[in-house]
Homo-oligomer: A and B are copies of this chain.
Amino acid sequence: MKVDTVIVGSGSAGLSALREVRRYTEDFLLINDGHWGTTCAAVGCMPSKALIEAANAFHRRLDLNEFGISGADGLRADIPAVLRRVRKMRDDFVKGPKSMPDKLGDRAISGRARLLGPDRIEVNGDEIEARAIILAPGSSPVVPGPWEKFGDRILTTDTLFEQTDLPPRVAVVGMGAIGVEMAQALARLGLNVAGFDAADEVAGIDDARVLNAFRPQIEAEMTLALGAPADLEEAGASIRVTGHSSSFDADVVLAAMGRRPNVDDLGLETLGVALDDAGLPEVNPVTLRIGDLPVFLAGDANGYRPLLHEAADGGHIAARMAAPEAPEGGLCRRTPLTIVFSAPQVARVGLPLSDMGDHDVVSGCVDFSTQGRARMAQTAAGVLRVHADRETGRLLGAEMCVPSAEHLSHLLALAIEQEMTVDDILAMPFYHPVLEEGLRSALRDLAKQVPAKGGSDLSRCKELGHDALE
């Protein structure tokens, strides 16, 4: 069998690639192993955010008395009902990818693909020759081999949302973005949660000042044991999880130690290029091409920014570069942006502070624990730091743990993507009372440290004559 383009994987990257491939050919095959749904919709962003929304709605009861609302003591989180809603929403979000085989007919194949070389691939015993191959096999949660003996008491995000109920004591091992989000959500739903991590960081925070503001917020809601690998052992009916100088008896353990590219049986070794210790070839981030081959590796599987919006860009880039008359060069990646949907939310935009070594960096900071609008909403907490080049005032990056970081980080992402200076962003209107005024305080703190513009955010303009005001 011979086709123009083969796409392996029907996740976010594969489906994004498909959309672009169909601009140049209908002679394609989409091969997928397992369920026809994206990681995001099935076991990632969507069910996790549905769970977080329920958890935050329940947690809000603790503020009600301060607002002047009574009766909060009578509220109960019904875990089976919460999980049922999560699955109901999830089922709705996966409908699109699930219908792919029906829509594509015999151009969609269910089965595990394996490369035979740079222009040949095998699936279900059939050999396919292709002009271009786009690999987007995705990733899977890491679970240490020795944990297998604990059976279904070890959960991952693949199985967490399938539970019909949850026991009262949950250990979460791995306090990165996903670990923090899930640990806090389960704690807010009334479960007894302990979080463990081998490192001292949580939520992937790079800036020590942001980490110092965030850690006590999380520690107020759960036991945290950071700085040593978690050790698991049987203890009666429990799993005893031992981390840095403390242990916790759990009913179940959520493994949140990251995800691994699904490349084990992909046949990458047949491509004739060097593979690293993880079995991955070098991939150019602006073309996603492997070496000079007509083979592309996109999405979580290439290990580059494993986030939905980057996977979608990756599929898009790979397919554009796989086109028969692809132009020279590649497509630029966007300003880096990561968001953790904790409370307060964590976000980073642009370069991490620890990677700004090439610049003479000046920093602005604001403490959100006294921010006016946040105080009115009973959500005041956290800090936001923003960094610029001292000489030019150009914004380089920001990191924060503040309420609505998801929104403030998008504003900063636009500014950084457009290579703005701190004066450029300060020229915009900041309404009142809004959280963006907190960001402005950090920007003003920064502006004081770059060459002066005269103390006004407003630019000079010609007098208009004595027209009446609008």
Contacts and interface: CB of A to CB of B under 8 A. Distances in A.
A375 interface: yes
Interface stretch (A116-124, A201-209, A386-394, A412-420): A412-420
A265 interface: no
A469 B317 contact: no
Nearest to A417: B428
Task: Select the residue from A285, A317, A414, A417 with max chain B CB neighbours within 10 A.
Answer: A414
Interface in A62-104: 63-64, 66-72, 74-85, 89, 93
A191 interface: no
Interface string A400-423: 000010111111011101101000
Contact of A432 (B40, B286, B304, B464): B40
A425 interface: yes
Residue among A83, A465, A469 with max Cβ neighbours from chain B (10 Å): A469
A428 B334 contact: yes
Contacts of A460: 327, 329-332
A376 B46 contact: yes
Interface residues on A, range: 35 or more
A168 interface: no
A410 B430 contact: yes
A46 B371 CA distance: 12
Q: How many copies of this chain are found per oligomer?
A: 2
A82 B68 contact: yes
A333 to B, nearest CB: 8
Given A49-B433, A303-B469, A463 B328 contact: yes
Interface string A261-278: 000000000000000100
A370 to B, nearest CB: 10
A48 B53 CA distance: 26
Contacts of A287: 463
Nearest to A312: B432
A46 B285 contact: no
A215 to B, nearest CB: 23
Contact of A68 (B85, B413, B433, B469): B85
A141 interface: no
Interface stretch (A148-156, A218-226, A243-251, A451-459): A451-459
A172 interface: no
Contacts of A316: 456, 458
A42 interface: no
Contact of A284 (B54, B408, B465): B465
Contact of A57 (B64, B408, B455): B64
7 contacts: A285-B467, A304-B469, A309-B429, A329-B462, A332-B459, A334-B428, A337-B431
Interface of A: 23, 40, 45-46, 49-50, 53-54, 57-58, 60, 63-64, 66-72, 74-85, 89, 93, 276, 282-287, 291, 302-305, 307-309, 313, 316-317, 320, 327-339, 372-373, 375-378, 404, 406-411, 413-415, 417-418, 420, 424-425, 427-436, 455-456, 458-470
Given A337-B431, A410-B436, 5 more contacts: A46-B372, A89-B376, A313-B458, A330-B460, A407-B407
